[in-house]
Amino acid sequence: MRVLWNMISRPLNRYNTQLLLVLVSMLVAVIVGIWLAPNENAGLYLTGAALVPLVAVSGAFAIKSTRSLFTNISFNQIAIMAMAFVPLVWVQRSYQSAISGQLTVWDIIRIGVMGLLGLVILFLPITHQANIWEALLGGLYIPIVLFSSWNLMTVAWSVYPAWSLYRSVEYFIAVVVFAVIAYSIKELREFASILNWVWFLNLLLLISVLISAVVAPSRAILRSYGVVGYGLEGVFPSIPVNGVGHISSILMLVALVRMLTRRGNSSMYAMAFLLSFPMLFISQTRSAILGAVVAGTFAVLGSRRYWQSGLLALLALIALLNMPTTISEEALDYMARGQNDAQIANLSGRADYWTLAFDYLEERPLTGYGAYAGGRFLVGHVFDENLGSTHSTYVDVLLDTGYVGSALFALVLLAPLVALLRQLVQCMRHEKDYSLLWSMTLEALTVLVFLIIRAYFSAGGLARFPAIEFLAIYSFAAYIRRNRYALNMHLASR
């Protein structure tokens, strides 16, 4: 009996707080689920009840594992946090309010914070803290600096010069901040803390959506949405249901890569995966699901788990061939999200946006209509005064900056993709066991693949401020390229 008691008491003594929180949460979830099951919104409540223990477990492990993030907060982390939260939508602006030039309190705060950040960057060379020109004009940052500079040049012929100028300056400031980060960081573990910080900020946004569902359920919970019957979106800040799917996919992919390649904190990564996956499912964001599936497959292959990949592919093929008709129809209905065949063929209205965009493009094919202006002020307001883009990064860039800007943007995407792929091949060739470099490279590549796929159906994430996930990955790729000889020498000696 004493041996049995020791087996039970030791883990309780070690994780008593977390286990107590989990047990209480599971008990509450069961009681709530049983009590509300007969209700007409049973699916909603049961899903919420199922998420309670997952949130509790994830929160317990996250508090324990992310404590180091707050011990020595650097200027880099403060700058990234400012760029992540300042552009969040706290008050929805219509086309008329944007064209009138009226500034809200949130606009003033945004301008003030970004202006202050710009002044700090300008003073860095004076205080000898960083050589900005060497960071911007060396190596991997040349394509994105050229693209950002072309955005600024388009102000001269923009259909709304003030809007193009401000949004281009914002993006350029973000590029400079991450270029300084790539230039100033010397150790790989320092960069790991930067990526951890970016993912942590995404986690905070996802938690804000859950809080919105509790505090303001009438606004946060979408009724009669798709096959599931409901969806979730953030209220304060405003995060649309597709944005919830976007954030959930990123967190799920990061958790997947770390479960595959890292030994420590595997329980925390598993809980993060189990928390983000149902949030993605509830959002029913088709482009995010597509990107997550492709990027997740790449992550499994990049972790060199070939037989597991083959087994999963075989099981998926068998399941598809033997899937009952009712299940396959339900899967199709889920992806249709309550839309008819005409709406699906029209890509939820995107085909109309893109057709109009290409009609305008015929008049200015080389130069476009001004960075961040064409999609919003020529196309968007025609269909909806709150529509701020064509719902495609690539169509937006083409319409706003023309063929010249699109060619530069293609280089912006290829530069980190090639650099990270080369490093991943080096890690897979020279290492038998997973290293931090291998894990971080695969993690960055996986999220980058997701962002590139998702950008086909979304305007944010790559070429539009804040794009902190993409710019953090770009910065990491620049760091790898600048230190590639030292990193590869270390790999060769293993």
SS3 73: coil
**Tens digit of pLDDT for each residue in 439-451?**
999 999 999 999 9
Paired residues of 234 in beta bridges: 239
pLDDT digits (tens, 9 = 90+) for 81-115: 888 888 876 655 555 655 566 666 777 778 888 88
Tell me what pLDDT residue 40 has.
45
pLDDT at 180: 86
The list of the chain residues with pLDDT below 50 reads 1-27, 29-40, 43, 63, 128, 323-328, 334
Q: DSSP assignment of 356-415, as one string?
A: HHHHHHTTSTTT-S-TTTHIIIIIIHHH-TT--S-S-HHHHHHHHHHHHHHHHHHHHHHH
Q: Is 12 in a helix, a strand, or coil?
A: helix
Instruction: Please report the pLDDT score of residue 8 as a whole number.
Output: 39
Using alpha carbons only, what angle is made at residue 46 by residues 41 and 50, rounded to the nearest 5 degrees? 155
DSSP label at residue 156: G
**What does the pLDDT read at residue 368?**
93
d(CA 173, CA 83): 10
pLDDT of residue 434: 72
pTM: 0.81
Taking the C-alpha atoms of residue 178 and residue 176, their distance in angstroms, rounded to an integer, is 6
Query: Which pair of tokens denotes residue 460?
Result: 């944010």
* Cα radius of gyration rounded to whole Å, the chain: 24
Match 């025609």 to its residue by tokens.
382
Look-up: residue for tokens 């598809």?
320
Domain residue ranges in the chain: 1-65, 74-492
Instruction: Give residue 30's pLDDT.
Output: 45
β-bridge mates for residue 223, sequence order: 230
Residue found by looking up tokens 């590639």 in the block = 484
pLDDT tens-digit series, residues 1-46: 444 344 334 444 444 444 444 444 444 544 444 444 444 455 455 5
Measured from the Cβ of residue 467, the count of other Cβ atoms closer than 10 Å reads 23
Q: Strand, helix or coil at 140?
A: coil
pLDDT at residue 411 in the model: 96
